[in-house]
């Protein structure tokens, strides 16, 4: 059982159908591949050489920054620092692990403390600086987050028998693979970040129902759907979402309706946010299978007409 909050009846029917197909095949496989969240403060200097001296100093302070974060939060952990220098500007990637919290506010507070220490102790003059440089990818689609991750990077996969595709989706594996190939080219030509059908539909409905930060769908809906026709005419299908900003504690998850919705998912006590992200990826996979099946069977428009009211 997966709770969804939406006013679109066709969406519910579609995800139900995709889930039925996945269950009929015995389920899908999922994996959390990465788990971290970033804040990226930026600093401006008089010269490139000052920026390089500043970077070398930051490297020597990484262990101390980890202690600052440890003393300020019971949950956040600074994993590592990364650097991007553009002339006399330095962008400092602060990468954190936030356990079962989505961690947006948590890492902002931790980064602020690091930021203030830097301003007070810098060995070179900083002309100006900001605690967030708009490079973290927060609440926006970006090529950087597609290539790496922000939040939980999760994949889900399944191999579908051609007969089961015909039974549940009224099309076949070969046609679905052809559609995916053409739609992937369409995404490239349109300049889309990633290749996917409608991740946002599943994520918006799930996020609202379970008290997530819905604005994070802007980045969470970036991803890659992939279909491959196998030698036995079965279909390998996968989805990869590199930016799932989700949590099971804090924020809107504490509201009564949203807390009840989370209980429906029967999450484990340990690593519940990771389990939640795997469910989200499975739901997205169900939606991709169903919508592409509908387009291949040419009943996409009919379904929307039938269930519009």
Q: Residue 135 above 80 pLDDT?
A: yes
Q: Give me the mean pLDDT over the 229-243 stretch.
A: 97
DSSP states of 283-306 as a string? HHHHHHHHHHHHHHHT-HHHHHHH
Percentage of the chain surpassing pLDDT 90?
87
| Active-site annotation holds for 62 | no
In tens, the pLDDT along 44-75 reads 999 999 999 999 999 999 999 999 999 888 88
Q: Let me know if 50 is a catalytic residue.
A: no
pLDDT of residue 308: 67
* Cα–Cα dist 14/161, whole Å: 19
Which runs of consecutive H residues, i.e. helices, occur in the chain? 9-24, 48-72, 104-121, 143-147, 162-169, 173-190, 199-210, 217-220, 256-264, 272-297, 300-307
**Residue 171 confidence (pLDDT):** 97
Domain ranges in the chain are 9-34+141-307, 41-130
Mean pLDDT, the chain, whole residue set: 94
9-34+141-307 and 41-130: same fold? Answer: no
Q: Catalytic residue among 89, 228, 299, 304, which?
A: 304
From 132, 213, 228, 299, active-site residue:
213
Express each pLDDT in 247-275 by its tens digit: 999 899 999 999 999 999 999 999 999 99
Domain boundaries 9-34+141-307, CATH class = alpha beta
Q: DSSP code of 215?
A: G
CB atoms within 10 A of CB 269: 8
Region 134-143 average pLDDT: 90
pLDDT tens-digit map of 179-197: 999 999 999 999 999 999 9
10 confidence band (pLDDT: 50, 70, 90)? confident
For residues 115 and 78, what is the distance between their CA atoms, to the nearest angstrom? 13
Rounded to the nearest 5 percent, the helix, strand and coil shares of the chain are: 50, 20, 30
Structure confidence at residue 55 (pLDDT): 98
Active-site residue, 161 included: no
Span 5-13, average pLDDT: 91
What is the 8-class DSSP label of residue 216? G
Question: Above 90 in pLDDT, residue 22?
Answer: yes
pLDDT at 307: 67
**Marked catalytic residue, from 8, 132, 161, 299:** 8
Q: Decide yes or no: CATH 3.30.365.10 for domain 41-130.
A: no
């Amino acid at each position: 059982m997966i709770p969804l909050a939406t006013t679109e009846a066709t969406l519910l029917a579609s995800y139900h159908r995709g889930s039925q197909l996945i269950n009929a095949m015995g389920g899908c496989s999922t994996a959390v591949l990465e788990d971290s969240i970033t804040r990226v403060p930026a600093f401006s200097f008089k010269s490139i050489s000052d920026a390089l001296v500043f970077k070398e100093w930051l490297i020597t302070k990484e262990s101390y920054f980890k202690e600052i974060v440890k003393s300020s939060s019971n949950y956040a952990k600074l994993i590592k620092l990364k650097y991007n220098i553009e002339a006399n500007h330095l962008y400092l990637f602060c990468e954190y692990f936030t356990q079962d919290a989505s961690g947006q506010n948590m890492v902002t507070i931790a980064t602020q403390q690091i930021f203030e220490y830097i301003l007070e102790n810098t060995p070179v003059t900083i002309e100006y600086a900001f605690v967030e440089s708009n490079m973290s990818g927060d609440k926006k689609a970006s090529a950087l987050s597609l290539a790496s991750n922000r939040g939980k990077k999760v994949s889900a996969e399944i191999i579908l028998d051609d007969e089961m595709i015909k039974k549940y989706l009224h099309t076949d594996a070969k046609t679905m693979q052809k559609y995916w190939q053409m739609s992937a080219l369409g995404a490239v030509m349109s300049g889309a970040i990633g290749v996917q059908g409608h991740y946002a539909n599943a994520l918006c409905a799930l996020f609202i129902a379970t008290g997530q930060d819905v604005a994070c769908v802007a980045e969470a809906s970036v991803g890659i759907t992939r279909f491959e026709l196998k030698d036995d005419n079965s279909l390998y299908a996968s989805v990869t979402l590199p930016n799932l900003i989700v949590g099971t504690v804090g924020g809107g998850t504490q509201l009564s309706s949203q807390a009840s919705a989370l209980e429906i998912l029967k999450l484990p006590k340990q690593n519940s946010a990771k389990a939640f992200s795997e469910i989200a990826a499975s739901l997205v996979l169900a939606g991709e299978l169903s919508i592409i099946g509908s387009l291949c069977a040419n009943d996409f428009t009919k379904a929307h007409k039938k269930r519009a009211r």
